[in-house]
Amino acid sequence: MIKKPIGSRTIFLLFSSWFLFYCDSSFILADHITQSLFINF
pLDDT at 4: 67
The pLDDT of residue 2 is 66
Position 7 scores a pLDDT of 79
pLDDT averaged over 10-residue windows placed end to end, the chain, 41 residues: 72 86 82 80 59
Q: What are phi and psi of 5, to 5 degrees?
A: -65, 135
Which pLDDT does position 37 carry in this prediction?
79
In the chain, what is the greatest distance between 2 CA atoms, to the nearest angstrom? Answer: 65
Q: What pLDDT, on the 0 to 100 scale, is given for residue 40?
A: 67
